[in-house]
């Protein structure tokens, strides 16, 4: 199958690679030429614009940073809707505001384009090994049409969560849980270090019990090693928490922990950590306690 793919960042490039491994033909576009060059080296073919991709591909995936980027790529000049044929399927795998998904889908529907929102969880490591969790909103028939041959070639699971926007609502819930979990790990390891107990030994002792989690297994060792190379950046998590807070305000859902985590992340971003992995929440605790978890 020929698939258009727009957005070749940390997540997009390995997703393209896995689709190529599955035997699909990929036509790609990104505003950063170096990203395109990497995907072309992997076996994809470059296109000049989102419009150009839509003119030759009837299945298109977008993986972009936030709502404005999706609106520009889909609705803007030289965008997808300028080139798309009726019946084209758009799979937006970006993590954006649910209301933005609904707005874009409405414009797509008016042009005969079928859209689902399908954000992912797992960060770069799971994008690389094709085991991401994919949460989907939109027409269930379209979901079933693309689930096995496309979505499950990039992810280990794909779950239909409801109408358009439900995928992004689910992703926001995911991001709240992840952020609070990362903060809890950083707080616990800081307590251990301040009390004179090796955080590595604490990790080894508790990871198999109730406190154990995928988040702690992935982010705890990074904190202990002071390795904050981004798999998912603080800046992107701030974006997601902002969308969660906006959505919570809109539906009347109280999000006090989310608001606190937003301020913690904003604090370390102001100190220059915005491009670090979100495990760099440990830097907040280092800042307020004077004690680093790692050496």
Query: Residue 201 and residue 206: Cα distance in Å, rounded?
Result: 9
How many beta carbons lie within 10 A of that of residue 270, not counting itself?
9
Verify whether residue 171 is a known catalytic residue.
Answer: yes
The candidate with the shortest Cα–Cα distance to 182, out of 206, 215, 228, 224, is 215
Helices 282-289 and 256-268 meet at what angle, rounded to 10?
Answer: 80
Q: Are the CB atoms for 158 and 147 separated by under 8 Å?
A: yes
Cα separation values, 56 from 135, 149, 150, 198, Å: 27, 19, 18, 57
The candidate with the shortest Cα–Cα distance to 86, out of 64, 111, 65, is 111
Q: Is 25 helix (H, G, I), strand (E, B) or coil?
A: strand
Give backbone dihedrals phi and psi of 148, rounded to 5 degrees, phi first. Answer: -75, -45
Chain CA centroid to CA 59, Å:
20
Helices 234-251 and 256-268 meet at what angle, rounded to 10?
Answer: 150
Residue 99, both tokens: 């209301």
The candidate with the shortest Cα–Cα distance to 244, out of 182, 162, 178, is 178
Query: Catalytic pick from 114, 147, 153, 171?
Result: 171
Active site residues: 171
């Amino acid at each position: 199958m020929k698939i258009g793919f727009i957005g070749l960042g940390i997540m997009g490039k390995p997703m393209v690679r896995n689709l190529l491994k599955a035997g699909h033909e990929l036509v790609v576009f990104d505003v950063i030429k170096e990203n395109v060059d990497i995907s072309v080296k992997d076996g994809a073919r470059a296109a000049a614009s989102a419009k150009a991709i839509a003119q030759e591909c009837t299945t298109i995936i977008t993986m972009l940073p936030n709502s404005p980027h999706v609106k520009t790529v889909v609705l803007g000049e030289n965008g997808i809707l300028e080139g798309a044929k009726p019946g084209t399927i758009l799979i937006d795998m970006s993590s954006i505001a649910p209301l933005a998904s609904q707005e874009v889908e409405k414009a797509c529907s008016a042009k005969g384009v079928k859209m689902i929102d399908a954000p992912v969880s797992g960060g770069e490591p799971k994008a690389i090994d094709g085991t991401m969790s994919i949460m989907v909103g939109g027409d269930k028939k379209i979901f079933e049409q693309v689930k096995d041959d496309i979505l499950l070639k990039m992810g280990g699971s794909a779950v239909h969560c409801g109408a358009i926007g439900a995928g992004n609502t689910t992703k926001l819930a995911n991001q709240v849980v992840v952020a609070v979990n990362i903060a809890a790990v950083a707080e616990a390891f800081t307590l251990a270090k301040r009390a004179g107990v090796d955080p590595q030994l604490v990790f080894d002792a508790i990871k198999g019990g109730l406190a154990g989690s995928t988040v702690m297994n992935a982010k705890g060792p990074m904190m202990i090693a002071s390795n904050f190379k981004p798999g998912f950046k603080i800046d992107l998590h701030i974006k997601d928490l902002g969308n969660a807070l906006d959505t919570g305000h809109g539906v009347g859902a109280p999000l006090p922990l989310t608001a606190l985590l937003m301020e913690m992340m904003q604090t370390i971003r102001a100190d220059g950590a915005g491009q670090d992995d979100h495990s760099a929440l440990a830097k907040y605790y280092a800042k307020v306690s004077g004690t680093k978890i790692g050496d």
